[in-house]
Chain A
Amino acid sequence: MMKEFRDQQSERCSGAMVQWCNGAMVQWCHGAVVPWCHGAVVLIFLLMFISSCTKQKSTVPDFNPTPYNLKIPKFFPTQLKIPPDNPLTVEGVTLGRDLFYDGRISGRDDPDSLMSCSTCHLQSHSFECGIDHPKYIDGHPFGVTGILTPHFMLPMINLVWTNHGYLWNGSVFEENINTSKRNLEDITWMAVVAPHEMNSDTNRAKEMIQQINRYPELFKLAFGSETVTMKNIGRAIAQFVRTLVSADSKFDRYLRGEVQLNPGELNGYVLFMTEQGADCFHCHGGDGNPLFTSNLFFNNGKDSVFNDPRDRFSVTSNPMDIGAYKAPTLRNLTYTAPYMHDGRFKTLDEVLNFYNTKLVWSPSMSPLMHHISNHGIRLLAWELADLKAFLLTLTDSTFIANPAFSRPSKLPGE
Chain B
Amino acid sequence: MIRIKKIFSLLPLIILFLFSCKKGNDTPPNPDSGQLAFLFEQFVDSVPLHLDTLIYENAAGNHYKLTDLQYFISDIVLHRKTGGQFFIKSDDGIHYIDVRLQASKYWQPTDSIIQDEYDSITFIFGITAEKNISNRFPNPPERDMAWPDILGGGYHYMKLNMMWRNEPSVNPMPFMFHLGIGQHYSGTTPDPDSITGYIQNYFKISFPLNLMIQTDVKKEIILEMDVNKWFGPVEIFDFAQYPMMIMQDQTAMELACRNGRNAFRVRVK
Which of A's residues lie within 8 Å of B, judged by CB? 12, 15-17, 38, 41-42, 45-46, 48-49, 52-53, 75-79, 163, 270, 273-277, 279, 281-282, 285-289, 294-296, 318-320, 361, 363, 365-373
Number of chain B interface residues as a range? 35 or more
- B134 interface neighbour in A15, A277, A287, A365, Cβ under 8 Å: A287
Once the chains bind, are B20 and A49 in contact (CB under 8 Å)? Answer: yes
User: Does B269 lie at the interface of the complex (its beta carbon under 8 Å from any beta carbon of A)?
Assistant: no
Once the chains bind, are A294 and B163 in contact (CB under 8 Å)? Answer: no
Instruction: Known A-B contacts: A163-B140, A296-B144. Give 7 more (CB < 8 A).
Output: A78-B139, A79-B139, A275-B178, A361-B171, A363-B171, A369-B174, A373-B244
Given A16-B6, A16-B7, answer yes or no on A45-B13 (Cβ-Cβ < 8 Å). Answer: yes
Once the chains bind, are B148 and A367 in contact (CB under 8 Å)? Answer: no
15 contacts between A and B (CB under 8 A): A17-B6, A17-B7, A41-B10, A48-B17, A79-B138, A79-B139, A274-B247, A277-B192, A281-B148, A287-B153, A288-B137, A319-B52, A370-B174, A370-B244, A373-B243
Once the chains bind, are B146 and A288 in contact (CB under 8 Å)? Answer: yes
Once the chains bind, are A287 and B149 in contact (CB under 8 Å)? Answer: yes
Hey, which chain A residues are within 8 Å of B172, CB to CB? 363
Nearest 7 CB-CB pairs, A to B? Answer: A288-B146, A367-B174, A273-B148, A367-B161, A370-B244, A45-B13, A370-B174
User: Does B60 lie at the interface of the complex (its beta carbon under 8 Å from any beta carbon of A)?
Assistant: no
Hey, which chain B residues are within 8 Å of A318, CB to CB? 52
Given A49-B20, A367-B163, answer yes or no on A273-B150 (Cβ-Cβ < 8 Å). Answer: yes
User: Does B245 lie at the interface of the complex (its beta carbon under 8 Å from any beta carbon of A)?
Assistant: yes
A-B contact count (CB 8 A): 124
Hey, which chain A residues are within 8 Å of B192, CB to CB? 270, 274, 277
CA distance A366 to B161 in the complex (A): 9
Q: Which of B1-49 contact A (CB under 8 A)?
A: 2-3, 6-7, 10, 13-14, 16-17, 20-21
Hey, which chain A residues are within 8 Å of B150, CB to CB? 270, 273-274
**In this complex, what residue of A is CB-closest to B154?**
A288
Given A42-B13, A49-B16, A52-B21, answer yes or no on A15-B3 (Cβ-Cβ < 8 Å). Answer: yes
Q: How far is the CB of A109 from chain B (nearest CB, A)?
A: 43
Grouping DSSP codes into helix (H, G, I), strand (E, B) and loop, the A interface class, with mixed when no group exceeds half, is loop
Once the chains bind, are B248 and A42 in contact (CB under 8 Å)? Answer: no
Given A274-B192, A367-B161, answer yes or no on A17-B3 (Cβ-Cβ < 8 Å). Answer: yes
Given A16-B3, A281-B148, answer yes or no on A275-B153 (Cβ-Cβ < 8 Å). Answer: no
Given A17-B6, A45-B10, A49-B20, answer yes or no on A276-B148 (Cβ-Cβ < 8 Å). Answer: no
Hey, which chain A residues are within 8 Å of B190, CB to CB? 276
Hey, which chain A residues are within 8 Å of B153, CB to CB? 287
Once the chains bind, are B248 and A76 in contact (CB under 8 Å)? Answer: no
Once the chains bind, are A370 and B245 in contact (CB under 8 Å)? Answer: yes
Given A52-B21, A361-B171, A368-B176, answer yes or no on A77-B138 (Cβ-Cβ < 8 Å). Answer: yes
Once the chains bind, are A77 and B143 in contact (CB under 8 Å)? Answer: yes
Hey, which chain A residues are within 8 Å of B148, CB to CB? 273-274, 281, 286-287
Once the chains bind, are A372 and B173 in contact (CB under 8 Å)? Answer: yes
Once the chains bind, are B247 and A275 in contact (CB under 8 Å)? Answer: yes
User: Does B221 lie at the interface of the complex (its beta carbon under 8 Å from any beta carbon of A)?
Assistant: no
**In this complex, what residue of A is CB-closest to B191?**
A276
Q: How far is the CB of B10 from chain A (nearest CB, A)?
A: 7
Once the chains bind, are B140 and A77 in contact (CB under 8 Å)? Answer: yes
**In this complex, what residue of B is CB-closest to A301?**
B174
Once the chains bind, are A76 and B173 in contact (CB under 8 Å)? Answer: no
User: Does B90 lie at the interface of the complex (its beta carbon under 8 Å from any beta carbon of A)?
Assistant: no
Which interface residue of A53, A163, A270, A276 has the most chain B CB atoms within 10 A?
Answer: A276
Once the chains bind, are A289 and B161 in contact (CB under 8 Å)? Answer: no
**In this complex, what residue of B is CB-closest to A76?**
B138
Hey, which chain B residues are within 8 Å of A279, CB to CB? 245
Hey, which chain B residues are within 8 Å of A42, CB to CB? 10, 13
Once the chains bind, are A368 and B174 in contact (CB under 8 Å)? Answer: yes
Hey, which chain A residues are within 8 Å of B155, CB to CB? 288
CA distance A273 to B150 in the complex (A): 8
Q: How far is the CB of B158 from chain A (nearest CB, A)?
A: 14
Given A274-B151, A287-B134, answer yes or no on A52-B20 (Cβ-Cβ < 8 Å). Answer: yes
Once the chains bind, are B138 and A75 in contact (CB under 8 Å)? Answer: yes
Given A45-B17, A49-B17, answer yes or no on A288-B10 (Cβ-Cβ < 8 Å). Answer: no
CA distance A54 to B79 in the complex (A): 46
CA distance A262 to B200 in the complex (A): 31
Once the chains bind, are B146 and A320 in contact (CB under 8 Å)? Answer: no
Once the chains bind, are B174 and A288 in contact (CB under 8 Å)? Answer: no
Once the chains bind, are A320 and B67 in contact (CB under 8 Å)? Answer: yes
Hey, which chain A residues are within 8 Å of B209, CB to CB? none
CA distance A198 to B16 in the complex (A): 58
